[in-house]
Amino acid sequence: MSSEYLMRFLEIGAIDLKGDDTKLEKLRATAKGLSTVLKKAPAKTVCFTMAAADPGIASDDPTIQAAMTVLRMQWETVSNAYARPPVAILRAILLDAIVLAARSDDAISVAFVNTARNALAQAETSDEEAVWREAVGEIEAKVDARAEEEWATPEMIEVEALQYSPPAAVTASFKPTKVERSSLNTQMHAAAGPWGGTNPNQYQPNHNPQQWSAEFASKMSVAVAQAIDSAVEGLAPTPIDLSKPLTALANAVALHVDNVLASFSTATAGLQRRTNLLWWKEALYSTSAQESYLDLPLYEAASLMALDLHEQVPTYSPASVSSFLKEAIRCLPVDPADANSDKREVAVLVQESRTTAFMQPFRNLAAQYVQAAEGRGPLLSVIGHPQNPGTIDAGQFRALVGIDATARMTPAEWGTYLFRELQSARATNAGVKRSKRK
Amino acid sequence: MDRCPHPKCSADDNITCWQGHIKLAYCPEWRKVVQTSTTAQPNPDELAVPWSGSALGESDLNFISGKGKPVTVGIVGPESSGKTTVLAAFYLLLGRGNLTSEDSLFSNSYTLAGWEAVANNLRWKPGQQAPHFPPHTTSRAARAPGMLHLAFRRQDGGLRDLLFADAPGEWFQKWSINQQSSEAEGARWIAKHADVTLLIADRQALAGPAKGTARNEFQLLAQRAVAGSQGRRLALVWTKGDVEVAPAMEAQIRKAVGSAAPDVPEFTVSVFKRGQVEAAEGFQKLFSWILETRRPGVQLPTSEVAGHDLLFRYGRR
């Protein structure tokens, strides 16, 4: 499986390695090495993909040079085996390496898919279409599966049962008490007549029956009451400690409520995202610029829409979000008097993005996401680091961003191109804090 | 010289090793057969290069296409229809500087000997017989056709490699009858890899005594070539343009091509001057059309989705 794209890519490029396992192994080992490099530094995905997607990439491009260094480690004499630097072979290796890395890393997948969709349309790649279609299709299916999880709106929310096991039955300790018979006997004997021991009844029952019975009742009730009191006192229950089972119950209920709320918010997050998306498209209002897109010049609005939508949606978004942006941009009115409104030169658009005050928030974000351009890389590198605000000449422009300076884009193409670049850049720059714009 | 045991290496053919070892003594494969060469000191003035100058075979192609797939031009036509003459005319006109412009200057060729072999017969040599058409290109045993290379430097500084397939007509005839024929491997290779297909219509055959057969053969071939080109560039090239062909026949040939692929450009070439038209003119037009070839970019379709959720289906086919 791992060599599938490598071999097929080479075959399409009229490079025949059939029956030469030695060479193939060297190329495979290089692809594996580069995929390890990529996994360690996912931010390189964009440059790797852009280099792999352009047959016209210069042989002195830093990415190609880096790949060549890795290939040389495997195959020392590679330079002598080809008329010029074997860019086609390095591109095949790069594609294979990216797919290998993307299979195990979702962030790399997002960056690869978005970048490939941008770059392939700008390069002379029609003969490689079958391989690219398959590679992007495979990785995009993976990205879409993850995006669907984040954007899904389930009809029912499934909640797990409450995780609580009641404590074992508590047995109250009970010790039956007996009436102290000897003291009761003594007191009753004392109540019976003057012959009783301590504190006897001073009356004889036969001489003063009336007084005797009053005294007897008084003494007997005290004696019996004392006996009952002491017996009851012995029956007082030991207090039972319920704090532990009650705390466990409280914790279980709290966890359950948390889980319920989490499932609920997961279910409603997708709904919230969809609602926001619809509101955004229908309102055509930029919350960041606090202005309607309808009041802005067409291409400025397209750039701003890309930026706003990027801030609104998560990294894992279905491919249809780009289509949504495209449709939203197409809703903007075209000025019939403006001859440039349907298509404008990319080089001019980039130059404006580098210099106009309006694009400052875009430049700030781009500068956070990517470093200044050294070789082939995203437009963001050129826009985000306009150290030298002069116009970039056509040759350098092609080398840096892979687009012909004379190429023209519609507002929708321009907006979706920028949006995909922003999505790719954020996916592979998880550590970068997003700017809070006013 | 001993033969390198590696099946794809042609190091014994006075070119360098296919793994890129400039000194054969360093190559582990070569050392398997030549034990003594490790001690022998090679002459420092002798330097082998990795190409021979002859037409390139399938495995030689890696040498050129390692940088990028060259624009491959397949010249498809029955035998004796003038395919090799078209190539020879290109080479001779290029030598006279008649094919290049400021937009694309000739840069280099790795098959000058191959070109020379093709064009040799069209060259006028003093004291010898007059130039004549190239002899029949034989159906060789090799599977892929011989490839002739040219590279042009474009105005933006980029190099553009071109490969011309010099293949015998028999291959195409066998291919037109049976696409899977084992003898049509070369024709299949051309159909698969050609960025530009020149479909040759031989005016002499179409006006000659066997014109019915020639027409049928062309129709069969055209059908196959148009299907194989899959939307890539294809042109109808009338060779031997000085020969008159019945208008009805011309219409049938155009119909054979046009019914499957409308708007196919047409070129007429001849090595003889036709009225006011110089012989070079037809070749120049054809060559500049070939040089204009650019492969378009890829617009990837959105991936297929299952389910009825409109959000995920939105914007997809």
pLDDT, residue B168, reads: 82
Q: Is A88 on the interface with B (CB under 8 A)?
A: yes
Quick one: average pLDDT of A273-297? 90
CB contact under 8 A, B7 and A19: yes
Q: Is the ipTM of this complex over 0.90?
A: no
pLDDT, residue A108, reads: 94
β pairing state of A291-292 and B71-76? unpaired
A274-278 long-range contacts, CB within 8 A, separation 24+: A274/A151, A274/A153, A274/B311, A276/A312, A277/A312, A277/A313, A277/A321, A277/A324
3-state secondary structure chain A: CCCHHHHHHHHHCCCCCCCCHHHHHHHHHHHHHHHHHHHHCHHHHHHHHHHHCCCCCCCCCHHHHHHHHHHHHHCCCHHHHCCCCCHHHHHHHHHHHHHHHHCCCHHHHHHHHHHHHHHHCCCCCHHHHHHHHHHHHHHHHHHHHHHHHHHCCCCCCCCCCCCCCCCCCCCCCCCCCCCCHHHHHHHHHHHHCCCCCCCCCCCCCCCCHHHHHHHHHHHHHHHHHHHHHHHHHHCCCCCCCCHHHHHHHHHHHHHHHHHHHHHHHHHHHHHHHHHHHHHHHHHCEECCCCEEHHHCCHHHHHHHHHHHHHHHCCCCCCCHHHHHHHHHHHCCCCCCCCCCCCCEEHHHHHHHHHHCHHHHHHHHHHHHHCCCCCCCCCHHHHHHCCCCCCCCCHHHHHHHHCCCCCCEECHHHHHHHHHHHHHHHHHCCCCCCCCCCC
What are the pLDDT digits (tens) for B116-173?
Answer: 888 876 666 666 555 565 555 555 443 345 889 999 988 777 788 999 988 888 888 8
Closest-CA residue in chain B for A143?
Answer: B303
pLDDT > 50? residue A434: no
Chain B residues with CB-CB distance to A127 below 8 A: 69, 195, 295
pLDDT, residue B317, reads: 47
pLDDT > 60? residue B282: yes
pLDDT > 60? residue A38: yes
Type and span of the H or E element at B284: helix B279-291
CA distance A155 to chain B (A): 12
CA distance B175 to chain A (A): 20
Q: Which member of B64, B110, B297 has the closest CB to residue A120?
A: B297
Q: Which member of B61, B72, B156 has the closest CB to residue A395?
A: B156
Quick one: average pLDDT of B241-256? 89
Quick one: average pLDDT of A57-66? 91
pLDDT > 80? residue B245: yes
The three-class DSSP label of residue B156 is coil
Q: Which member of A81, A121, A395 has the closest CB to residue B19?
A: A81
Instruction: Give A228's contacts (C-beta < 8 A, 6+ positions apart).
Output: A179
Q: Left (φ > 0), alpha (ψ -120 to 50) or beta: where does B297 sit? A: beta
Residues 130 to 149 of A: which have CB under 8 A from any B CB? 132-133, 136-137, 140-141, 144, 148
Q: Out of A128-142, B138-152, B223-237, pick the least confident.
A: B138-152
pLDDT, residue B114, reads: 86
DSSP B134: P
pLDDT > 60? residue A45: yes
pLDDT, residue B132, reads: 60
Closest-CA residue in chain A for B192?
Answer: A12
Question: Which of B32, B190, B295, B300 should be substituted to probe chain A, the one whose Cβ sees the most A Cβ atoms within 10 Å?
Answer: B300
CB contact under 8 A, B315 and A319: yes
The model's pTM is 0.79
pLDDT, residue B18, reads: 66
CB contact under 8 A, A136 and B158: no
Chain A residues with CB-CB distance to B68 below 8 A: 13, 55-56, 87-88
Q: Is A426 on the interface with B (CB under 8 A)?
A: no
The identity of residue B95, as a single letter, is G
**Position A427 confidence tier, pLDDT thresholds 50, 70, 90:** very high
Chain A residues with CB-CB distance to B316 below 8 A: 319-320, 323
- Cα first-last separation, chain B: 61
β-bridge partners, A286: A291
CB contact under 8 A, B296 and A59: no
What are the pLDDT digits (tens) for A370-384?
Answer: 888 888 999 999 999
Residues A422, A307: contact at Cβ < 8 Å? yes
Q: Out of A212-221, A250-259, B294-303, pick the least confident.
A: B294-303
What are the pLDDT digits (tens) for A348-368?
Answer: 999 989 988 888 999 999 999
pLDDT, residue B137, reads: 58
What are the pLDDT digits (tens) for B158-196?
Answer: 788 999 988 888 888 888 888 888 878 888 888 888 999
Contacts across the A-B interface (CB distance below 8 Å) = 151
CB contact under 8 A, B296 and A84: no
Q: Where are the beta strands (DSSP E) in B88-169?
A: 104-108, 146-154, 159-166
Quick one: average pLDDT of A49-58? 91
Chain A residues with CB-CB distance to B64 below 8 A: 83
Residues A107, A84: contact at Cβ < 8 Å? no
Rounded Cα gap, residues B46 and B42, in angstroms: 8
**Position B292 confidence tier, pLDDT thresholds 50, 70, 90:** confident
pLDDT, residue A2, reads: 47
Q: How far does Cα B179 stand from its chain's mean position?
A: 19
Closest-CA residue in chain A for B158?
Answer: A56
Rounded Cα gap, residues A398 and B157, in angstroms: 12
**Position A187 confidence tier, pLDDT thresholds 50, 70, 90:** confident
Type and span of the H or E element at B196: strand B196-202
Question: Smallest Cα–Cα separation from A411: which of A309, A324, A335, A343?
Answer: A343
Rounded Cα gap, residues B205 and B225, in angstroms: 19
What are the pLDDT digits (tens) for A297-340?
Answer: 899 999 999 999 999 999 998 888 888 899 899 988 887 777 66
% of residues, chain B, pLDDT over 70: 77
The Cβ of residue B145 has, within 10 Å, a number of other Cβ atoms equal to 26
Rounded Cα gap, residues A98 and A115, in angstroms: 12
pLDDT > 70? residue A433: no
β pairing state of B233-239 and B196-202? parallel
CB contact under 8 A, B20 and A127: no
Residues 173 to 232 of A: which have CB under 8 A from any B CB? none
Closest-CA residue in chain B for A127?
Answer: B295
% of residues, chain A, pLDDT over 90: 36
What are the pLDDT digits (tens) for B37-73?
Answer: 445 555 555 556 667 777 887 777 888 888 888 999 9
Question: Which of B9, B62, B147, B229 should be substituted to probe chain A, the one whose Cβ sees the most A Cβ atoms within 10 Å?
Answer: B62
Q: Is A84 on the interface with B (CB under 8 A)?
A: yes
**Position B305 confidence tier, pLDDT thresholds 50, 70, 90:** low
Residues B6, B12: contact at Cβ < 8 Å? no
**Position A33 confidence tier, pLDDT thresholds 50, 70, 90:** very high
Q: Left (φ > 0), alpha (ψ -120 to 50) or beta: where does B56 sit? A: beta
**A107 vs B313, which has greater pLDDT?**
A107
Q: Is A12 on the interface with B (CB under 8 A)?
A: yes
CB contact under 8 A, B66 and A88: yes
**Position A438 confidence tier, pLDDT thresholds 50, 70, 90:** very low
pLDDT > 80? residue A135: yes
Closest-CA residue in chain B for A273?
Answer: B311
Question: Which of B17, B60, B67 should be substituted to probe chain A, the one whose Cβ sees the most A Cβ atoms within 10 Å?
Answer: B67
pLDDT, residue A66, reads: 93
Chain B residues with CB-CB distance to A50 below 8 A: none
Q: At what angle do helices A4-12 and A21-40 cross, to 10 degrees?
A: 120
pLDDT, residue B43, reads: 58
Q: A268-298 burial, b for 16+ CB within 10 Å, e for fewer? A: eebeebeeebeebbeebebeebeeebeebbb
pLDDT, residue A52, reads: 93
pLDDT, residue B49, reads: 67
**Position A153 confidence tier, pLDDT thresholds 50, 70, 90:** confident
